[in-house]
Structure 1
Amino acid sequence: MGEREFWVGTYTGDAGEGAGVYRMRRRADGVLEEPRLAVEAASPSYLARHPGGNVLYAVRELADGAVSAYDVSGARPREIGRVPAGASPCHLSVAPGGGHLVVCDYGSGTVRAVPLAADGGFAGSPAVARGHGSGPVADRQEGPHAHAAAHAPDGTVLTADLGADLVRSFRIEDGALRLTGETPLPAGCGPRHLAVHPGGHVHVVTELAATVVVLRPRDGYADLEVVAESPATAEPAAGTALCAAIRFGEDGRFLYTSTRGADVVTAHRVLDGGAALEPVADVPSGGHWPRDLHVDGAWMHVANERGGTIATFRIGADGVPEPAGAPVRAPSPVCVVPA
């Protein structure tokens, strides 16, 4: 595999040591070069890229609760738009056709679908769906906390609500986000991020219970049922264990999760066409407090927020990541997105 460029989202100000969005290069041998500041921004912790490649979106999570769009076709990113997105937006995803940007707001529990123009710029007012509900963990589930979205093959937008222990299903129709279903998860589990397996099952990593819950669509993605629940780590995690990210490998045979506190990335073997999991191995994340991870073919990059590093791994034939050189220093990194 040849060289590749990546964007890095960070925390800034009182929340971290970053200064904005960074850019870094992976050499052909897998070694990462130190990231360089591309554009100053306030806590652009989570990023997403338009399929056209020339627009990058960034939350302003701990600043003014907005999302910025940047033209990245030139030498330096140039902000071309900004839309309000709630109290503390924490996750972005672009619909596969590029027509909408879906924003999950942890602070208010809302989900927004922002219409996009063909060139990736903002193209109108967002459709807003408000969350509801709470859970038994008093200090984390006092109300709804929309944490992430994923897109099902039929166009359904699936969201994880950490505060309400729900996976919600939406359709974007006639400029609105229409709720089509809600799937309860085990009480107090705190669903955080989710991913759709090529076979159709939905896998949800839970922050508070440190598990992966597997859902099967019964009548499309508006009607889901829990079919399995598996530990998020191969070995019991000692002390704090707060799961963060979930990603499938390139061919869907393996799933990867990151767990903060335990500071590991875990490889899971996918069984029964996506209906079940088997944790295979825990691998030290290459730093402290791993947040998002990016799987890029045979490579994996892990952002260790509090340790201030991005670690690179080579995924072996057995699906287990192996460190590929020393982690590179990066200021409060949260996510890594291909440029």
Structure 2
Amino acid sequence: MGERAFWVGTYTGEAGRGAGIYRVTRRDDGVLTAPLLAAEAVSPSYLAAGPGGDVLYAVREENEGGVVAFGASGGRLREIGSRAAGALPCHLHVPPGAGHLVVADYGSGTVRAVPLGPDGAFAGEPAVAEGHGSGPRADRQEGPHAHASASAPDGTVLTTDLGADLVRSFRIEDGALRLTGETPVPPGSGPRHLVVHPGGYVHVVTELAATVLVLRPVDGYARLEVVAETPVTAGPVSGTPLPAAIKLGGGGRFVYTSTRGADVVTAHRVLDDGAALAAVADVPSGGRGPRDLHVDLHVDDAWMHVANEHDDTVATFRIGADGVPVPAGPPLAVPSPVCVIPA
């Protein structure tokens, strides 16, 4: 298998106990080495890597938020640029083609596309798409709250809006974000994160309803429809479940979710080439407040790393042939971890 390095994004200042972005290494036996602070940064709670691996992007999750680009070399990070974002940017990803960085601003409900140069550095000012709408949960859905984005096979950028109960579809054209469609999801569900299955279906984890939705493309990816809805956990759980993340694994045979409150990760078996999911096992996340998780997308030697924000740990799991994660040693102490991605 060989060693593999990872970046860990954290909360800092009043939001947490971290100092910025850390680097850890997974040894052959699955044990993570002690974290090294690679760069000081303000609440870099979500990270994304550039296509060449030598640029790392991070949100600056605060009320007057931003995004920061770092050059990565020798296990260290050097800031090479920044751009303003909306309030509380919480997620970003680089669509195929690497021409833009897509940012979801939770607080302001906006979505941004930041142009990138050939070297991965920021190359202009962001295109901004305003959010709109609200939901029935007055405490969480008083207005739009963009939360995540993912790329569909046809190049459409899909975004979740937790506040408006929408999955929105965009095309990036001539430097602008063009809205091509909006798909309502069950009222009060609060769509949070999403993945696009190789079979073409879109899987969305909802924070407020604690479910996983399966959406089928109807008009390309401009319009989708909900074709299945299942609980986010395999069985009854203690506490108030607040799902956080959803990731693919096992070559598309499994989907994994993390749920705060219950403090579990759940393995879901993928059925009918992505058209349905069946939750098969809830596994303690190795700490409190599991946020993002990373799953190695291999059929064999599959691993999972879970950022447990409230316990200041990153837990490691080995994934067996049945798709169920099994703890692989004690969790690693990392202050206020939120996101784990390969370096």
Give the TM-score range, shorter chain.
Answer: over 0.9
Alpha-carbon distance in 1 for matches of 2:44, 2:325? 27
SS at match of 1:306: helix
Alpha-carbon distance in 2 for matches of 1:19, 1:316? 34
Retained in 1: the 8 A contact 2:63–2:86? Answer: no
TM-score calculated relative to the size of structure 1: 0.99
Unaligned runs of 5+ in 2: none
Aligned position for 1:309: 313
Q: CA deviation at 1:239?
A: 2.4
Retained in 1: the 8 A contact 2:201–2:214? Answer: yes
- 1:197 matches 2:201: no
Aligned position for 1:55: 55
Alpha-carbon distance in 2 for matches of 1:289, 1:34? 21
SS at match of 1:266: strand
Aligned position for 2:167: 167
SS at match of 1:218: strand
Aligned position for 1:131: 131
Which amino acid letter does the alignment assign opposite residue 146 of structure 1? Answer: A
Retained in 1: the 8 A contact 2:42–2:60? Answer: yes
Unaligned runs of 5+ in 1: none
Instruction: Write out per-residue CA displacement over residues 126-159 of structure 1, whole angstroms, 9 at most, x where no aligned residue.
Output: 1110000000111100000000000001000000
Retained in 1: the 8 A contact 2:152–2:196? Answer: yes
Alpha-carbon distance in 2 for matches of 1:233, 1:141? 23
Q: CA deviation at 1:63?
A: 6.2
- 1:318 matches 2:327: no
Aligned position for 1:65: 65
SS at match of 1:72: strand
Greater alpha carbon shift after TM alignment, 142-151 vs 56-65: 56-65
Aligned position for 1:299: 303
Aligned position for 2:247: 247
Aligned position for 1:97: 97
TM-score calculated relative to the size of structure 2: 0.97
SS at match of 2:213: strand
Retained in 1: the 8 A contact 2:66–2:86? Answer: yes
- 1:181 matches 2:185: no
Q: CA deviation at 1:236?
A: 2.1
Alpha-carbon distance in 2 for matches of 1:71, 1:28? 27
Runs of 4+ with >4 A deviation:
none
Alpha-carbon distance in 1 for matches of 2:39, 2:63? 16
Instruction: Write out per-residue CA displacement over residues 279-330 of structure 1, whole angstroms, 9 at most, x where no aligned residue.
Output: 0000000000000000013000000001110000000000000000111111
Which amino acid letter does the alignment assign opposite residue 168 of structure 2? Answer: R
Aligned position for 1:226: 226
- 1:288 matches 2:292: no
Instruction: Write out per-residue CA displacement over residues 241-272 of structure 1, whole angstroms, 9 at most, x where no aligned residue.
Output: 10000001031010000000000000000001
Alpha-carbon distance in 1 for matches of 2:78, 2:63? 19
Retained in 2: the 8 A contact 1:42–1:63? Answer: no
SS at match of 1:101: strand
Q: CA deviation at 1:337?
A: 0.8
Alpha-carbon distance in 1 for matches of 2:94, 2:237? 33
Alpha-carbon distance in 1 for matches of 2:117, 2:80? 12
Q: CA deviation at 1:73?
A: 2.5
Aligned residues: 339
Q: Tell me the C-alpha RMSD between the 2 structures.
A: 0.9
Among the aligned pairs, what percent are the same residue? 77
Q: CA deviation at 1:74?
A: 4.6
Alpha-carbon distance in 2 for matches of 1:256, 1:212? 10
SS at match of 2:310: coil
Which amino acid letter does the alignment assign opposite residue 268 of structure 1? Answer: H
Q: CA deviation at 1:218?
A: 1.3
Which amino acid letter does the alignment assign opposite residue 2 of structure 2? Answer: G
SS at match of 2:281: strand
Which amino acid letter does the alignment assign opposite residue 90 of structure 1? Answer: C
Retained in 1: the 8 A contact 2:116–2:123? Answer: yes
Which amino acid letter does the alignment assign opposite residue 214 of structure 2? Answer: V
